[in-house]
A and B are shown apart, each in its own frame.
Chain A
């Protein structure tokens, strides 16, 4: 990105015509000779040679003015103070996430896709990833290396953990990985589609811990409110679907969110899920301290050197080739 730091100096170009006028009008140092008018009549004026010094001088002057305007080549670095916020995404990988009410494929895939987008949007934050079903595992600790994080995210699949829904464990794992964080704002985004039915920690207790550590928990309940289709495999017959009502423990999720200063969202379709992440993204954005620092390389030297070359050339032409008697 190139720009001019003191672009008002460019107004000096306005006086350039005056300078040219002055140079043209000014009588040049010359040798007196009696018959010049007759020579002029028969030889004519060698205009090209005559204007070379002037042109060189004008070019040099233009370059100097341009150098005065301080042309810079700069890069704006946005991430200089990496004091963004720390976010841990907690994603439910229990069997119920296979419901196809959210597209593409199923709830889990939709959640992964949306989380992917979310991570890419938050380039300045450290983000971690926790997956849970019957147990909870930290898939990726808080990191600024989003490439690895995204890799881990896409490795999530159903069946990687024994079936069950240990919301309390998931949340507490997230809280655990955030507890040493020195970020100003610590956020957990908890995504689930069921009710706590495993693990030794009650979701509410985990919520209290989070609240005590100053961690904000956004909770997202996934699943359509009507009956949804779950796939199941029948040996020899392929995949069949069964109608089931999804059961999100909205009460507990709301309570956790309220207690920690977060918000509970209900996502009954893909679009809604996307919007929720966007909303969280926006809400947390205000607290990010993004310091922009621009590092510029001054380019004026190039122009000045060029101007100098032209001036030297002018000097050569006018003093050595065109003899001026001064």
Chain B
């Protein structure tokens, strides 16, 4: 049985993200990830028929023979999407949950990648490694990635970013771009991020809900943790409660600062905001810093 809603959702995501990819991020993706696009390969002797424009005059003058420069298209990139599907991702106070947002963002990156003939892979993780889809190309591959994110039922509720990073580090031999899409409600993962960033290009995409950081004031409320099921009665009007969230926001910006200093890019995207300008900004920033 094919779930009609699912098909619709998939199509919607596909159309929306392909449109975005074609119209907004066409150049940005290339410049942000690819650089020049063509890279120098070697210099060889001129054979009749070679394009005269490619003659390297410096080398030819030195050897008193004609030499031409040979270029090669830059090697294709590998893009790995690490998507957090722990239970906390199922939180959202607007139309979208964090996981919905993560799916859309995954789609944008995946379609951008295949548009430029790059390979995309997917790793779904909770506190375990839930599902791995190896690198591949083509629209069908991307669709299967999106389908997996939408339909996969995680076996565990918790979050361990550390596990996922360690796993992907062992898995990848060649340099890749690793995009971690998560709410980052976890701890003890910064060391692994930095470690992985030495060899690969790690981008942390932080998806969050506004109410997570500014919860509404509604008096005493019993709250239940989405991952551990712990219950807690809190006074949401209380000073302590308010201070806690202020401290949490402060902590978030310090963590982001630290990552930026060690060369890891981070973007925070709210489930209710329009993420296109944020992404455009992010890409521009990346290009500028290069």
Q: A40-B230, A322-B233 are in contact. Are A33 and B225 (CB under 8 A)?
A: yes
Q: Are B233 and A49 in contact (CB under 8 A)?
A: yes
Which residues of B have CB within 8 Å of A27?
224, 231
Q: Is B48 an interface residue (CB 8 A)?
A: no
Q: Are A32 and B224 in contact (CB under 8 A)?
A: yes
Interface centre among A29, A34, A35, A43 (most CB of B within 10 A): A34
Q: Are A40 and B226 in contact (CB under 8 A)?
A: no
Q: Are B244 and A39 in contact (CB under 8 A)?
A: yes
Contact of A43 among B91, B222, B226, B241 (CB under 8 A): B241
Chain B proximity of A245: nearest CB distance (Å)? 100
CA separation between A4 and B215, bound complex, in Å? 53
> Can you list, as one digit per residue, whether each of A246-288 has a CB less than 8 Å from chain B (1) or not (0)?
0000000000000000000000000000000000000000000
Q: Is A31 an interface residue (CB 8 A)?
A: yes
> Can you list, as one digit per residue, whether each of A101-132 has a CB less than 8 Å from chain B (1) or not (0)?
00000000000000000000000000000000
A contact residues, total (Cβ < 8 Å)? 25
Which residues of B have CB within 8 Å of A43?
234, 240-241, 244
Q: Is A45 an interface residue (CB 8 A)?
A: yes
CA separation between A46 and B218, bound complex, in Å? 16
Chain A proximity of B168: nearest CB distance (Å)? 23
Q: A45-B232, A46-B233 are in contact. Are A31 and B221 (CB under 8 A)?
A: yes
Q: Is B76 an interface residue (CB 8 A)?
A: no
Which residues of B have CB within 8 Å of A234?
none
> Can you list, as one digit per residue, whether each of A149-172 has a CB less than 8 Å from chain B (1) or not (0)?
000000000000000000000000
Chain A proximity of B5: nearest CB distance (Å)? 23
Q: Are B230 and A36 in contact (CB under 8 A)?
A: yes
Q: Is A321 an interface residue (CB 8 A)?
A: yes
Q: Is A324 an interface residue (CB 8 A)?
A: yes
Q: A40-B232, A43-B244 are in contact. Are A32 and B91 (CB under 8 A)?
A: yes
Q: Are A45 and B227 in contact (CB under 8 A)?
A: no
Residue of B nearest to A48 (CB): B233
Q: Is B58 an interface residue (CB 8 A)?
A: no
Q: A29-B222, A324-B222 are in contact. Are A36 and B232 (CB under 8 A)?
A: yes
Q: Are A323 and B221 in contact (CB under 8 A)?
A: yes
Q: Is A28 an interface residue (CB 8 A)?
A: yes
> Can you list, as one digit per residue, whether each of B200-236 has a CB less than 8 Å from chain A (1) or not (0)?
0000000000001001001111111111101111110
Chain A proximity of B217: nearest CB distance (Å)? 11
Q: Are B231 and A37 in contact (CB under 8 A)?
A: no
Q: Is A38 an interface residue (CB 8 A)?
A: yes
CA separation between A40 and B183, bound complex, in Å? 19
CA separation between A323 and B227, bound complex, in Å? 22
> Which A36-61 residues have a C-beta within 8 angstroms of B?
36-40, 42-43, 45-46, 49-50
Which residues of A have CB within 8 Å of B224?
27, 30-33, 36
Chain A proximity of B115: nearest CB distance (Å)? 34
Residue of A nearest to B236 (CB): A323
Which residues of B have CB within 8 Å of A40?
225, 230, 232
Q: Are A34 and B234 in contact (CB under 8 A)?
A: no
Interface range for B: 20 to 34
Q: Are B220 and A30 in contact (CB under 8 A)?
A: no
Q: Are A34 and B220 in contact (CB under 8 A)?
A: no
Q: Is B88 an interface residue (CB 8 A)?
A: yes
Contact of B220 among A35, A38, A322 (CB under 8 A): A322
CA separation between A189 and B215, bound complex, in Å? 96
Q: Are B233 and A36 in contact (CB under 8 A)?
A: no
Q: Are B228 and A37 in contact (CB under 8 A)?
A: yes
Q: Are B232 and A34 in contact (CB under 8 A)?
A: no
Chain B proximity of A145: nearest CB distance (Å)? 69
Residue of A nearest to B89 (CB): A34
CA separation between A35 and B211, bound complex, in Å? 11
> Can you list, as one digit per residue, whether each of A315-326 has a CB less than 8 Å from chain B (1) or not (0)?
000000111110
CA separation between A201 and B215, bound complex, in Å? 111
Which residues of A have CB within 8 Å of B244?
39, 42-43
Q: Is B185 an interface residue (CB 8 A)?
A: yes
> Can you list, as one digit per residue, whether each of A1-39 has a CB less than 8 Å from chain B (1) or not (0)?
000000000000000000000000001111111111111
Chain B proximity of A191: nearest CB distance (Å)? 84
Q: A34-B88, A34-B91, A321-B219 are in contact. Are A46 and B235 (CB under 8 A)?
A: yes
Which residues of A have CB within 8 Å of B234?
39, 43, 46
Q: Are A35 and B212 in contact (CB under 8 A)?
A: yes
Which residues of B have CB within 8 Å of A323?
218-221
> Can you list, as one digit per residue, whether each of B91-120 has a CB less than 8 Å from chain A (1) or not (0)?
100000000000000000000000000000
Which residues of A have CB within 8 Å of B183?
34
CA separation between A303 and B281, bound complex, in Å? 69
Chain A proximity of B73: nearest CB distance (Å)? 44
Q: Are A31 and B232 in contact (CB under 8 A)?
A: no
Q: Which A-B residue pairs are the 9 nearest by beta carbons?
A: A36-B225, A34-B88, A322-B220, A30-B224, A30-B222, A50-B233, A33-B223, A28-B222, A37-B225
- Residue positions of B touching A, CB distance < 8 A: 88, 91, 183, 185, 212, 215, 218-228, 230-235, 240-241, 244, 247-248
Q: Show 24 residue pairs from A and B whose CB-CB distance is below 8 angstroms, ordered by the A residue.
A: A28-B222, A28-B231, A30-B221, A31-B223, A33-B215, A33-B224, A34-B227, A35-B185, A35-B212, A36-B231, A37-B225, A37-B230, A39-B223, A39-B232, A40-B225, A40-B232, A42-B244, A46-B233, A322-B219, A322-B220, A323-B219, A323-B221, A324-B222, A325-B221
